[in-house]
Amino acid sequence: MSIERIGVVGGGLMGSGIAEVNARAGISVVVVEVSDEAAAAARDRISSSLQRAVDRGKLTEPERDKTLDAIVVSTDLTDLADRQLVVEAASEKESVKLDLFTRIGAILEDPDAILASNTSSIPIVKLGAVSGRPDHVMGVHFFNPAPVMKLVELIPSLTTGEKTLDRMRTYVADQLGKQPIDATDRAGFIVNSLLVPYLLSAIRMYEAGYASAKDIDNGMVLGCGHPMGPLALSDLIGLDTIQAIGESLYEEFKEPLYSPPPLLDRMVDAGLLGKKSGQGFYPYG
């Protein structure tokens, strides 16, 4: 059974990207934000992204307009009631996600509707437990920028039904045209379990004065062939997100390499979150 109606909770960088991907695939999308201002910003973010695709020749103007027409932005969670799939893309805070899964689980009308989280690290089984439909809950982890990145991690928990996982594999591969990979429900899943310790190590190196941010990044780009250095990548992901994933990894495994270094904590406290705030390890105009 294909997905024809999807809801996205959160219209930030990830949520707006997920909404765009689905609308471009011909799926009806409802995006829910916390305020009118945030809803307007989400709409503008999607519109700007689509216009960039037009400017680059990746999308025609009629395709842009059709995609925008497929997206409704709201501030009311009850507008998700008729959705077949809801993807939660709110802030990476466990308390926020648990509250949303409790409320959305009670709103969905279709007993077969799937409730998914785009979390980078929070245990899926906890979200399923409060949803009232644990067999229909799983992780669906898109990567930033969602319209460009081909990978999607699928994370079933101990209580996720096989039918739910099969539907999501088909949805990701056949409807969105992306590559799904299966991961177990452990903090960090596959990609972040490998990536975040590397990023934290680069931050520790910079903190200790081994080298400048530019030289650390150039070392990995020019010496290892990476498309982007670790500090620039941390800025792109968001330093608050890196901190949250590191804390989640450390909480589960107690490995020192997962613990966020003091510099990262100080930067987040100061609001220096990377590209989205205009300043991280580098300034952004």
Residues that are catalytic: 120, 141, 153, 192
CB 156 within 8 A of CB 176: no
CB 64 within 8 A of CB 53: yes
Q: What's the CA gap between 68 and 74, in Å, rounded? A: 14
To the nearest 10°, the Cα dihedral for 207, 144, 133, 84? 170
Phi-psi region for residue 260, left (φ > 0), alpha (ψ -120 to 50) or beta?
beta
Q: What's the CA gap between 202 and 133, in Å, rounded? A: 41
Using DSSP's 3-state secondary structure scheme, residue 148 falls into coil
Sheet holding 85-88, edge to edge: 71-74, 28-32, 5-9, 85-88, 114-117, 137-142, 151-156, 179-182
Contacts of 204 (CB under 8 A, 6+ apart): 261, 263
72 — phi, psi (to 5°)? -110, 130
Q: Where are the alpha helices (DSSP H) in 70-111?
A: 94-107
Q: What's the CA gap between 58 and 39, in Å, rounded? A: 26
